[in-house]
Every structure is written in C-alpha cells, then in structure tokens.
A and B are shown apart, each in its own frame.
Chain A
C-alpha cells in the first residue's frame, strides 16, 4: 500500500518558475526522502530530511517537513526543462523499507 500522497498529481510550468510539490503521509516516520524518476524507470535520490529537522536545502531544492501535519513539501527553484520528471516522497515509518507516495508528474516547458 502507498503511505503517502503527492499533491498535485501533475504540474506544468515554464522554465524559470518555481515548482512546489506536497506530500502527505499517514504514520509517524523516522525520515522522509524525495526521489526523482525519469521515464518510469530508475529513481534518483534527491534529498533526505530527518524527523527532527524542519527544513533542508540542496542546490535548487528546498524541502520542508511538518511532522505535526504529517506533510512535506519539495520546492524546485528556477526550474529547467531538464527537471521534467516524476517526483516521489518516501518514508521509512518503522522499518528499513521505504513506503512511496503516488508521485507528482512535473512538466517544465522551455
């Protein structure tokens, strides 16, 4: 079963704009990770935020975590056409396995 849901399911923006994706999850977590997937194949790890952290940055990425609301957001600033992909949040609630959300499909137009 899927732990979380991403919102929106799909997002279309122009290059240079910011893209914000949200993730909600159901149970308490140890960590939350964001992954990117191109063309429905292998996933690439973007960033990990621990349950005691509230915000984390990596290059053009900014992730926030609100454990009281069981939600996280991923912000991609100054988006590029190459950012076009599906983005998934993943949590490890109580074990070593990752539980993925349903994903946001991001389309960035040149």
Chain B
C-alpha cells in the first residue's frame, strides 16, 4: 500500500522568509501533483511533475521531484500572506490515474 507523508504538518512562517515542504512516498511512482486548498474551498492544481528531476516554478513556489529518493519538495521563496493555505502532494497510484494524497501541510504566513 502506497503511503504519502508530508512534513511539516503545520508551518507558521514570517513574510519574506523561505521554507520547504517535503513529500515522501513509499513505492515507485513517476508522477506527482501539488495542490492548494484554501479553508472551506476546493483543491486547486499547482504543479504536475512528470519525471525524475522535474522542476517547475510559478511565482514564489517551486516544486521538484526525485523519483529515486521518492521525494518531492515545494519551496516557498519570500513568503507573502496570500500563500497561507493547505498544500497537498498526491502521488499517481496504479491504473486509472488514481491519486494517493498526503495529509497536507497547513501554511500560515504572518506579518
């Protein structure tokens, strides 16, 4: 059974600081997704990482994938309050494009 672990589970950071969220998974997969969820809202797709060594950037967020280490990172640069949300990684699992989600990292950016 595939397990997906994120850490930290909760992150409080000041505006302007940098930080990294980690996503580890237990079995082989070559595709990983990052989503953002605002409180009481749906999930918004941020990144689709397709292969080993993939790196994608959008604004202050950069995601990378190391399939050999079974590790993805979501790096936040110079955080701003608008980035406050819960971030989920999800790993492609088996057939039918099924996803296994991590438990999420709740990010709180303070002034």
Answer whether A and B are interacting partners.
no
Residues of B within 8 A of A (CB): none
- Where the two chains meet, the residues of A that have a C-beta atom closer than 8 Å to any C-beta of B are none
